[in-house]
Amino acid sequence: MADSVAVISGMIIEKLLANPKVPRDIDGNSKIVEDLAFDSLAVMNFVMEIEDELDVSVPLDKLADIRTINDLAACLHTLKVAHA
Amino acid sequence: MTDIFAKHAGLREAYSGLTAASPRNPFEVVIERPISASVGIIEGRETLLFGTNNYLGLSQSRKAIDAAVETAETMGVGTTGSRIANGTFGLHRKLEAQLADFFGRKHCMVFSTGYQANLGTISALVNKDDILLLDADSHASIYDGAKLSGAQVIRFRHNDPVDLEKRLARLKDHPGAKLIIAEGIYSMTGNVAPLDKFVDIKTRHGAYLMADEAHSFGVLGAHGRGVAEMQDCEDGIDFIVGTFSKSLGTVGGYCVTDHDGVDLMRLCSRPYMFTASLPPEIIAATMAALEDMQERPELRARLQENAARLHAGLQKVGLKTGEHVSPVVAVTLETVDQAVGFWNALLENGVYVNLSLPPATPDNRPLLRCSVMAAHSPEEIDRAVAVFGEVAKHFGL
Ligand SMILES: Cc1ncc(COP(=O)(O)O)c(C=O)c1O
């Protein structure tokens, strides 16, 4: 069964909070670049960690449209469903 | 009116912070002139050059200099045109034949830079229906080529065959062509790619494999054909891309392959077509440097000895280097301030290395990238290591 967007979003937040530099008050609507101060490389590297967890690969062009944690979760969910 | 430069605000802030903390601007070092391959004048002082890509010292090759001078005298200094119009001289064809022969391949295309060789090869080989699998630490020219191609880009973990295979397995039902790209030696860290393992994987998964041997051409392998030769897996590599701007000491790039399909690349590779071809004196110098490299295998042996000497020396003074012994030796530091201070002190004490800062470095830590040449004497290497040791002590490292 593919996880729902909310479940994936929760998983992303949990992983992000494992990094002490990430602000404590993030939620699904937090903007990855602006609120988390991630640069493009940091975003790509973080996505790699999530990819392993969900067993999907996110093509880089998909990342261009992602602003918030929920956007990322939705993207991962779509890929996961397509792959299942 | 929207400020067209507003988007650079973040960059400006980072840049101002950096240059404020540094007695000199690390991005504006001027080598007033080189005196030899290993020594240049910087800020009026003779400075040991440990931050070039002149691995064999051939930027100063007598043979290449003579060839360039003679060719400029007889043919002039430029072609003023594209390879597919008026920019192909007899010399361009000769160099392509010489390189194809050197690599034992059927075809060779020469580009105006190594950067364009990646752009031109990648963008002609794949399009939006295809998949590119790039090593995560790939050079900017590979990422830019990927963007220009429009293909879907998937990164795999640096030098990690297991991760690559996992990603290919996920793509097994994807109808597009799959092209894996890795480098030979990674320019920032000196890491060597497991190309032989990538060949096994690409064969199992029906993918193509391209290797960018920019830093390993002329440097590794019994004949200087790079990591693929060293790991005895050349047959499994579909496309080898590289540059003349490092071991051969000139400028320009190439792609060699046995696939006949590349004939048409000359008519669809935009970075090949829409730019002026290399000037004849550069082609002549490159051909002469390639001959020089082949006639003097001792340069490669010397380079390996020097690489081992620098690597061991830096470790001995307690600095953190990569594990691979290669002509690129990167010293990893923890903070940008530390790296900037260290780099300035090296330069003030007569040693030039490259300051590499995140995000251009793999794991967000700054690097002092050192590179050795065959032209360095053991004394020059020992001197550089001693300066590194003194500066490290000064900084309490
Ligand atoms: C891996 C790699 N590929 C390509 C290039 C581009 O080569 P060039 O500087 O000759 O354009 C470089 C160096 O800049 C490089 O390190």
Gap between the Cα atoms of B65 and B69, Å rounded? 6
Averaged pLDDT for residues B312-329: 93
Rounded mean pLDDT, B289-314: 97
Q: What residues of B are in contact with residue A60 (Cβ under 8 Å)? A: 146, 152-155
Q: Is the dihedral of CA B54, B56, B62, B65 positive or negative?
A: negative
Domain count, chain A: 1
Beta bridge partners of B369: B330, B354
State residue B173's pLDDT score: 92
Four-residue CA torsion sign, B183, B301, B244, B110: negative
Fold of the domain spanning B6-59+297-394:
Aspartate Aminotransferase, domain 1 (3.90.1150)
Give residue-wise pLDDT tens across range B265-276. 999 999 999 999
Quote the pLDDT of residue B154. Answer: 97
pLDDT band at B212 (very low <50, low <70, confident <90, very high): very high
Count the helices and strands in chain A (H runs, E runs): 4, 0
**Ligand 1 center to B218 CA (angstroms):** 14
Portion of chain B with pLDDT greater than 70, in percent = 100
Question: Average pLDDT, stretch B345-369?
Answer: 91
H or E segment to which residue B202 belongs: helix B195-205
Beta carbons of B264 and B228 less than 8 angstroms apart:
no
- Residue A39: CATH number of its domain: 1.10.1200.10
As a whole number of angstroms, the distance between CA B155 and CA B167 comes to 9
Digit-coded pLDDT (tens) for B64-102: 999 999 999 999 999 999 999 999 999 999 999 999 999
What is the predicted pLDDT for the residue at A1? 47
What is the rounded (10 degree) CA torsion for A33, B362, B150, A32?
-10
- A45-54 contacts, C-beta under 8 A, 24 or more apart: A45/B136, A46/A15, A46/A16, A47/A72, A48/B136, A48/B155, A48/B157, A49/A15, A50/A11, A50/A12, A50/A15, A50/A76, A53/A11, A53/A15, A54/A3, A54/A8, A54/A79, A54/A80
How many of the other CB atoms lie within 10 Å of CB of A48? 16
How far apart CA B334 and CA B332 sit, in angstroms, is: 7
- For chain B, the domains span 6-59+297-394, 61-295
The tokens of B361 are what?
A: 């470095």
Question: Nearest-5° angle of CA B380, CA B329, CA B250?
Answer: 75
Mean predicted confidence (pLDDT) in A42-66: 90
Helix B140-149 and helix B114-125: axis angle, to 10°? Answer: 30
Q: Cα angle vertex B394, ends B390, B397, to 5°?
A: 90
3-state DSSP of A37-66: CCCHHHHHHHHHHHHHHHCCCCCHHHHCCC
SS3 call for B270? helix
3-state secondary structure of B345: helix
Cα-Cα-Cα-Cα dihedral sign, residues B317, B320, B323, B327: negative
- Reduced to 3 states (helix: H, G, I; strand: E, B; else coil), residue A29 is coil
In this prediction the pTM is 0.95
Mutation target among A41, A54, A65, A81 for the B interface, most CBs of B within 10 A: A41
Dist. CA B243 → ligand 1 center (Å): 6
Q: What's residue A2's pLDDT?
A: 56
pLDDT digits (tens, 9 = 90+) for B110-141: 999 999 999 999 999 999 999 999 999 999 99
Helix axes A40-54, A5-17, angle to 10 degrees: 120
CATH 3.40.50.2300 fits domain B61-295: no
**Residue B299 CA neighbour count, 13 Å, CB half:** 24
B54–chain A nearest CA distance, Å? 29
Nearest-angstrom CA–CA distance, B3 and B5: 5
In chain B, count H helices and then E strands. 13, 14
What DSSP element (H or E) covers B18? helix B9-20
Model pLDDT, residue A84: 66
Q: Which of B54, B219, B245 to mutate to test the pocket of ligand 1 (most atoms within 8 A of CB)?
A: B245
| pLDDT score recorded for residue B361 | 83
Q: With 50 as the cut, is the pLDDT of residue A18 above it?
A: yes
Tens-place pLDDT, residues B380-393: 999 999 999 999 99
Contact (CB<8Å) A48/B152: no
Does B2 touch chain A if contact means CB atoms closer than 8 Å?
Answer: no
Global ipTM:
0.89
When pLDDT is averaged across residues B319-341 and rounded to a whole number, the result is 92
Q: Which residue has the tokens 């940091």?
A: A42
Locus of tokens 């590119």: B132
| Centre of ligand 1 from the C-alpha of residue B49, in Å | 19
Judge whether A61 is closer than 8 Å to chain B, CB to CB.
yes
Show the domain range for A14. 5-83
Q: Give the other-Cβ count within 10 Å of B339's Cβ.
A: 23
